[in-house]
Amino acid sequence: MTKKRNLLRVGACAMTAALVLTACRGGDSGSSEAGGGITDEPCPDAVNPDNGCIYLGAISDLTKGPFAPLAVPITDAQEAFWAQVNEDGGVGGYDINLTDHIADSEYNPELHNRKYQEMRDDVAALAQTLGSSQTLAILEDMKADDVIGVPASWNSAWEFEDQILESGASYCFEAMNGVDWAVAERGVANKVVAVGYAGDYGGDAAAGVEVAAEANGLEYVALETPAGQENQTGAISQILGEQPDLVYISTGPAEMATIVGGLAQNGFTGTVVGSSPTWNPALLQSAAAPALEALYFQAGPWGPFGTDTPGHQKMRDALGDVTPNDGYTAGWAWSYALLATLEAAADLDGGITRENLVKAAGELESVDYEGMLPEDAGATDGDPNETAFRQSVISRVDPSAPTGVTIEQDFTAGPTVSDFDFTEPCFSLQ
Amino acid sequence: MTTIVRSPRLRGRALATTSYAQDMGLLNTPAKRRSTLVMVVLGFLVPFLLTDDLLQIATLGMISAVGAIGLNLVTGYAGQVSLGHAFFIGVGAYTGAVLGGSETSLVVGYDLPMWIWLPGAGIVAALAGLLVGPLAVRLRGLYLAIVTLGLVFLGDHVFREARSLTGGPGVGRRGPDLNVFGIDLRESGSVLGLELAREQRQFLFALLFLIVFAVLARNIARSGVGRAFSAVRDRDVAAAIIGVDLTKYKVMAFAMSSFFAGVTGALYYAVLGVFDPSAFGLLMSIQYLAMILIGGVATISGSIMGAMFIAFLGRLSGEIAHVVPGITTGSGGGGVLTVFQLEAILYGLLIIVFLIFEPRGLFGIWLRIRNYWKGWPFSY
């Protein structure tokens, strides 16, 4: 018995050693090995069969998660964007394939991590990683793999991460601009209430409101509210009790409409400004529509779907006949930064590799957003205090516009954000 | 002078036992001894065969197997239906993260080594179990299930609000550091002259972790405590009459189960990295119940099989969904179903189909295979 067992053990050890030596398991790649999502073979169904192929990944919220109504158009727009890039001849001798590596993480950090593990050897970069703690769950691995990613969120923390390619002003800066605008244009002079979800989104915006309130000599009150329309009565009565002349909201669209509707019903006549994710054109069909038209303004990182710029036009043409939604606008606008990085990496020694993409992502001096954002908005070459983009757009409700909002004030950086010393994220995630 | 007389085994009659101790032995037949050895050897070979992404799933599967074993102790062996397992896993996860994690501007952390945070997570969860145990003495069956369900909601609220411990919803916090005797399981590199990637290290550690807790649970189950559990499960009044202290054993079952859940929670999120409070909802409790139902109630090997099945189910349904014709692989629009929706549907469907066709669980399949070979060549 003992003899037999020893024999087995020796056999097992020998086998182990042999396996290790021959390294028979696949996918054990370091990032620097050939491949890593960049091949000389053409893409499946390639537009340009002579080009190589770069595979991009997207980890989004496509079915059950809370942001699915926004994330599906974001992902669709990104697919359309890269298809358009291929139509135009590709980048640096490569076509781009996003379709093969789209994953649904249901807005769950655990699944997000798992989906990343599945694609980590097969993609050169992430065209979309949706959610903040979700992105944080894979950030260490992205750094180890030399993978850069486009976040689908506007968190101020991303400005401090070299491998995260954000576009547009963060929730924090957006809030500063929203408050500054309301003070200048709507005569707000006394009190501002910031109401939003607990967590990265609401927290980042509330931090911005607080800074702007202080700069403008306003009294500042912060409220947190849970998700769900039925849970907003507490927030409404608290706001009414504070009697502010400005309310800054960072929740989902339905919650925002409930709050604004409730405020209007109780005779509130001040101003409401919401972060960009508070708007959804479907709200115009809700009972809160008159209240929204009277009170609500949206602070956003760029012009809505119907804006007249070459980039917006190109997006509308590429998408064809779809129900307008600013998820499309976001997905399209975010992609420019990654395109510029790919182009910059193609000009570096060694062409497009993961290492060069990381290098290029930290050295961008400008990004051609085709008018959707100013070119210097994409700069990453320098310290966040210099490169962070500080301008936002303020929109008002307009039932005749494709997504129900039109620009009230075009790209402007208010006095608060212009003087703001940006040395750390407004709201720390970790 | 007394000596313990070992009853001799009958040669060539592996299944004939001549003493109670033999009957209750851990590995009481040569076939079990051999197959266990083979399984363990194969287990240690796996990290050199599978790719990293599969290894990670297997690692998480093995860790949740320990949690499933814990639930099987209280629900399978002692018959106390618990829907509160997610709560105990959460308690363990946050204890582990607070003790072993790093302090940041948002959350507290004490950077203690693993030999403190891992047992610590188990002990704190076990204490929570001790508090719940007495409820089980007064309630039975569905009523107990509802009360333990309440625990999940209670925990969910506390985890969301205790921001300095959990980071709060939408933000979350990092799990504890994974350092075992100076070896960092989060890095790749050579260990004892063997080049091991991060996933391989974690897999091997999780395998050891599972073996330790599986043997521990098996020993609990085959000892006097385990027999008392079964007596309570089969008829608690009868058990009380033959002298089983109901209060003691029910509380004990909850405490032991919670200890298993606690260590599982701590280690699971140490491997995974970041987690947020929404993880510890009812869904997680249901998933653990599914593990033991699919695996086999009141079996240790069943718990392990069930946990591995649930761990790989997401991947499996994903692979199946991708080969089904006529399904759009894009993000949506157009087709009736996207591949992601199909994935979610298949996940539920596979569980249903499985329980309809194999109600005894994976352990039932294993039993049939075993019995076939036991009787071979006269099996029919």
User: What distance in Å separates residue A110's CA from the closest CA in chain B?
Assistant: 7
Nearest CA-CA partner of A156 in A143, A140, A139, A173:
A173
User: A106 pLDDT band (50/70/90 cuts)?
Assistant: confident
Q: Residue A27 and residue B52: Cβ atoms within 8 Å?
A: yes
pLDDT the model gives residue A234: 93
Average pLDDT over residues A165-181: 94
Residue B145 domain-assigned (yes or no): yes
CA dist., res. A210 & res. A216, Å (int): 10
CA dist., res. B227 & res. B314, Å (int): 36
Give the model confidence (pLDDT) of A194-237 as tens digits: 999 887 888 899 999 999 999 999 999 999 988 888 889 999 99
Pick the more confident residue, A319 or B187.
Answer: A319
User: A12 pLDDT band (50/70/90 cuts)?
Assistant: low
Average pLDDT over residues A381-402: 92
CA dist., res. B341 & res. A63, Å (int): 6
CA dist., res. B377 & res. A138, Å (int): 53
A324 CB-near residues (< 8 Å, 6+ apart): A281, A305, A306, A402, A403
pLDDT the model gives residue B349: 84
Q: What angle do CA A338, A341, A344 make, to 5 degrees?
A: 155
Give the C-alpha distances (Å, rounded to integers) separating B163 from A55, A126, B104, B157: 39, 30, 12, 11
Partner-chain residue, chosen from B41, B105, B168, that has the shortest CB–CB distance to A198:
B168
pLDDT the model gives residue A107: 83
Residue A424, class by beta-carbon neighbours within 10 Å (0-12 exposed, 13-18 middle, 19+ buried)?
A: middle
B343 touches chain A (CB under 8 A): yes
Range of the domain at B69: 49-375
Q: What is the dihedral angle through the alpha carbons of B257, B263, B267, B268, rounded to the nearest 10 degrees? A: 20
Nearest CA-CA partner of B71 in B363, B287, B313, B277:
B287
3-state secondary structure of A25: coil
Q: Residue B170 and residue A199: Cβ atoms within 8 Å?
A: yes
Do A109 and A199 meet the contact criterion of CB atoms below 8 Å apart?
no
CATH code at A171-301+391-429: 3.40.50.2300
Cβ contacts below 8 Å, chain A against chain B, sum to 133
- Reduced 3-state DSSP string for chain B: CCCCCCCCCCCCCCCCCCCHHHHCCCCCCHHHHHHHHHHHHHHHHHHHCCCHHHHHHHHHHHHHHHHHHHHHHHHHHCCCCCCCHHHHHHHHHHHHHHHHCCCCCCCCCCCCCHHHHHHHHHHHHHHHHHHHHHHHHHCCHHHHHHHHHHHHHHHHHHHHHCHHHHCCCCCCEECCCCEECCEECCCCEEECCEEECHHHHHHHHHHHHHHHHHHHHHHHHHCHHHHHHHHHHHCHHHHHHCCCCHHHHHHHHHHHHHHHHHHHHHHHHHHHCEECHHHHCHHHHHHHHHHHHHHCCCCHHHHHHHHHHHHHHHHHHHHHHHHCCCCECCCCCCCCCEHHHHHHHHHHHHHHHHHHHCCCCHHHHHHHHHHHHHHCCCCC
Give the model confidence (pLDDT) of A272-298 as tens digits: 999 998 998 889 999 999 999 999 999
User: A84 pLDDT band (50/70/90 cuts)?
Assistant: very high
B50 touches chain A (CB under 8 A): yes
User: A15 pLDDT band (50/70/90 cuts)?
Assistant: low
Q: What percent of chain A has pLDDT over 70?
A: 91
CA dist., res. B205 & res. B197, Å (int): 12
User: What distance in Å separates residue B15's CA from the closest CA in chain A?
Assistant: 18
Q: Residue B49 and residue A25: Cβ atoms within 8 Å?
A: yes
Contacts of A199 in chain B (CB under 8 A): 168-171
Residues 201-260, chain B, touching A (beta carbon < 8 A): none
Give the C-alpha distances (Å, rounded to integers) separating A421 from A201, A383, A389, A417, B106: 20, 11, 13, 8, 21
Do B49 and A24 meet the contact criterion of CB atoms below 8 Å apart?
yes
User: Does this chain's domain A10-168+307-387 share its CATH topology with A171-301+391-429?
Assistant: yes
Which of A33, A70, A113, A250 to mutate against chain B (most B CBs within 10 Å)? A113
Q: Which amino acid is at B216?
A: L
pLDDT of A271 higher than 60: yes
pLDDT the model gives residue A2: 47
pLDDT of A305 higher than 70: yes
User: A23 pLDDT band (50/70/90 cuts)?
Assistant: very low
Partner-chain residue, chosen from B37, B172, B329, that has the shortest CB–CB distance to A99:
B329
User: What distance in Å separates residue A24's CA from the closest CA in chain B?
Assistant: 7
Do B257 and B132 meet the contact criterion of CB atoms below 8 Å apart?
no
Both structure tokens of B80: 């106390």
pLDDT of A29 higher than 50: no
Q: Residue B52 and residue A121: Cβ atoms within 8 Å?
A: yes
Which residues face A223 on adjacent strands? A195
**What is the count of structural domains for chain B?**
1
Q: Residue A76 and residue B332: Cβ atoms within 8 Å?
A: yes
The owner of tokens 């897999």 is B203
- CATH code of the domain containing B350: 1.10.3470
Q: Which amino acid is at B114?
A: M
Which residues face A102 on adjacent strands? A58
Contacts of B171 in chain A (CB under 8 A): 132-133, 199-200, 203, 429
Contacts of A104 in chain B (CB under 8 A): 340, 343
User: What distance in Å separates residue B339's CA from the closest CA in chain A?
Assistant: 9
Average pLDDT over residues A374-386: 88
pLDDT the model gives residue B195: 80
A344 CB-near residues (< 8 Å, 6+ apart): A360, A363, A364
The owner of tokens 């400004």 is A273
Do A333 and A304 meet the contact criterion of CB atoms below 8 Å apart?
no
- Residue in A closest to B42 by C-alpha: A12
CA dist., res. B308 & res. B62, Å (int): 7
What backbone torsions phi and psi does residue A57 show, to the nearest 5 degrees?
-115, 160
Q: Which amino acid is at A403?
A: T
Q: Residue B49 and residue A197: Cβ atoms within 8 Å?
A: no
Residue B24 domain-assigned (yes or no): no
Q: Residue B343 and residue A201: Cβ atoms within 8 Å?
A: no
CA dist., res. A123 & res. A141, Å (int): 13
Q: Residue A102 and residue B329: Cβ atoms within 8 Å?
A: yes
CA dist., res. A6 & res. A12, Å (int): 10
User: What distance in Å separates residue B34's CA from the closest CA in chain A?
Assistant: 9
The owner of tokens 């994710």 is A277
B197 touches chain A (CB under 8 A): yes
Cα A97 to the center of its chain, rounded Å: 20
Q: Residue B274 and residue A137: Cβ atoms within 8 Å?
A: yes
Residue B25 domain-assigned (yes or no): no
Contacts of A79 in chain B (CB under 8 A): 330-331
Both structure tokens of B194: 């063997």
Residue B16 domain-assigned (yes or no): no
Q: What count of other Cβ atoms lies within 10 Å of the Cβ of residue B186?
A: 16
pLDDT the model gives residue B4: 55
Contacts of A72 in chain B (CB under 8 A): 331-333
CATH code at A10-168+307-387: 3.40.50.2300
Which of B274, B275, B346 to mutate against chain A (most A CBs within 10 Å)? B274
3-state secondary structure of A281: helix
CA dist., res. A298 & res. A224, Å (int): 19
pLDDT the model gives residue A32: 38
B106 touches chain A (CB under 8 A): yes
pLDDT of A71 higher than 70: yes
pTM: 0.83
Which residues face A302 on adjacent strands? none
Contacts of A64 in chain B (CB under 8 A): 344
User: A35 pLDDT band (50/70/90 cuts)?
Assistant: low
Residues 12-41, chain B, touching A (beta carbon < 8 A): 37, 41
3-state secondary structure of A39: strand
For the sheet with A191-196, list strands across it. Answer: A219-224, A191-196, A246-250, A271-274, A296-300, A392-397, A405-412
pLDDT the model gives residue A195: 95
B345 touches chain A (CB under 8 A): no
Q: Residue A428 and residue B104: Cβ atoms within 8 Å?
A: yes
Nearest CA-CA partner of A28 in B348, B298, B203, B359:
B203
The owner of tokens 């030596």 is A21
Give the model confidence (pLDDT) of A413-426 as tens digits: 999 999 999 999 99
Which residues face A57 on adjacent strands? A126
Q: Residue A133 and residue B171: Cβ atoms within 8 Å?
A: yes
What backbone torsions phi and psi does residue B82 show, to the nearest 5 degrees?
-125, 125
Give the model confidence (pLDDT) of A137-163 as tens digits: 898 889 988 999 999 989 898 989 989
Do B36 and B28 meet the contact criterion of CB atoms below 8 Å apart?
no
CA dist., res. A3 & res. A91, Å (int): 63
Do B339 and A82 meet the contact criterion of CB atoms below 8 Å apart?
no
pLDDT of A16 higher than 80: no
- Residue in A closest to B103 by C-alpha: A430
User: What distance in Å separates residue B118's CA from the closest CA in chain A?
Assistant: 20
CA dist., res. A395 & res. A366, Å (int): 26
What's the mean per-residue pLDDT of chain A?
A: 88
User: A9 pLDDT band (50/70/90 cuts)?
Assistant: low
Contacts of A8 in chain B (CB under 8 A): 37, 41
DSSP string of A327-347, one letter each residue: HHHHHHHHHHHHHHHHHHHHT
Residues in chain B where the model's pLDDT stays below 70: 1-9, 14, 326-336, 380
3-state secondary structure of A71: helix
- Sequence ranges of the domains in chain A: 10-168+307-387, 171-301+391-429
CA dist., res. B260 & res. B255, Å (int): 9
